[in-house]
Amino acid sequence: WAIPLAIFVSAILGFLIEWSVIRHLYNRTFDTLLATWGLAILIRKGVEVVFTRDYKSVNQVVPGTVEIFGVNYPAYRLILISIIICIFVVLLLWYQRSKVGLRVRAMVQNPGLAAAIGIDIAILSRVTFVIGVSTAGLAGALLAPLVRVEPYIGLDYLLSSFFILVVGGLGSIEGLLIGSTIIGGTDAVISTIFDKTAGYMSVLIISILFLWLRPDGIFYRR
């Protein structure tokens, strides 16, 4: 029940945050960043008060390994990869083929024109925000068996998400895939060859190069 509960709670929390704070800050990017960062701090401190900062462990639902071409892989990680691929395909089809996805693309590319042709920007923004927060909740629930659960569990992944957006570009789900592959692959390879610090530095260098040479990312859509 952890996964549906995480999605439900995240959706409710996302709706309340969007309705009370975020909807007043659209078109004010810096203010939105400050507001969400402040809310994240408040939520983390609230979690600390209720659950303390002690680490919690979650048992893996699917223990053991699976042999593929003579190499053993953790079964849960393989299931996780399959789930992520399915989620990505569903989001991509929704974004590119559905009527709501078409409206979202119109809103991202030209909010003023989208509003002029009758698209309810406020409702659509709320829906996409709630979907994003729900997906983050799902990611946290799926990640829990692999890491130690504590109030600051998402901080490193928040930075990685920023680097992925820098590389992949805004307004494109394909960019998320390419950005995740480049950032995640580079971090994994360099960390394996050298150490975790070298892996993080390599990701940081790639992000700086993209900000310098291609600030809009690979798949940025105007």
Question: What pLDDT does residue 126 have?
Answer: 92
Do 58 and 37 share a structural domain? Answer: yes
Question: What pLDDT does residue 47 have?
Answer: 87
Do 136 and 28 share a structural domain? Answer: yes
Do 159 and 172 share a structural domain? Answer: yes
Do 99 and 71 share a structural domain? Answer: yes
Query: Which of the listed residues 133, 150, 167 is the one where a domain comes to its end?
Result: 150
Do 31 and 11 share a structural domain? Answer: yes
CA geometry: angle 124, 127, 129, nearest 5 deg: 110
Query: Which of the listed residues 122, 150, 178 is the one where a domain comes to its end?
Result: 150
> How many domains does the structure of the chain reveal?
2
Find tokens 């008060």 and name the residue.
49
Query: Which of the listed residues 119, 150, 181 is the one where a domain comes to its end?
Result: 150
Residue 24 sits in which domain range?
A: 2-150
- 142 Cβ contact partners less than 8 Å away, ≥ 6 residues apart: 3, 80, 83
Do 205 and 142 share a structural domain? Answer: no
User: How distant, in Å, are the alpha carbons of 132, 212, 217 from that of 209?
Assistant: 27, 5, 11
Do 202 and 92 share a structural domain? Answer: no
Do 178 and 124 share a structural domain? Answer: no
106-121 per-residue burial string, b: 16 or more CB within 10 A, e: under 16: bbbeebeebeeeebee
Do 176 and 119 share a structural domain? Answer: no
Burial-class residue 184 by CB neighbours within 10 Å (0-12, 13-18, 19+): middle
pLDDT, one tens digit for every residue, the chain (222 residues) = 788 999 999 999 999 999 999 888 887 877 888 888 889 889 888 888 888 888 888 887 787 888 888 888 888 889 998 998 999 899 889 888 889 888 988 888 888 888 898 889 999 999 999 999 999 999 988 988 888 888 888 777 888 888 888 888 877 788 888 888 999 899 989 999 988 889 889 999 998 998 888 888 887 655
Question: What pLDDT does residue 222 have?
Answer: 53
User: How distant, in Å, are the alpha carbons of 34, 160, 168, 221 from that of 111?
Assistant: 22, 28, 21, 14
Instruction: Measure the CA–CA gap between 61 and 72, rounded to whole angstroms.
Output: 18
3-state secondary structure labels for all residues of the chain: CHHHHHHHHHHHHHHHHHHHCHHHCCCCHHHHHHHHHHHHHHHHHHHHHHHCCCCECCCCCCCCEEEECCEEEEHHHHHHHHHHHHHHHHHHHHHHHCHHHHHHHHHHHCHHHHHHCCCCHHHHHHHHHHHHHHHHHHHHHHHHHHCCECCCCCHHHHHHHHHHHHHHCCCCHHHHHHHHHHHHHHHHHHHHHCCHHHHHHHHHHHHHHHHHHCCCCCCCCC
Do 172 and 219 share a structural domain? Answer: yes
Question: What pLDDT does residue 221 have?
Answer: 55
Do 197 and 122 share a structural domain? Answer: no
- 113 Cβ contact partners less than 8 Å away, ≥ 6 residues apart: 106
Question: What pLDDT does residue 206 have?
Answer: 92
Do 119 and 24 share a structural domain? Answer: yes
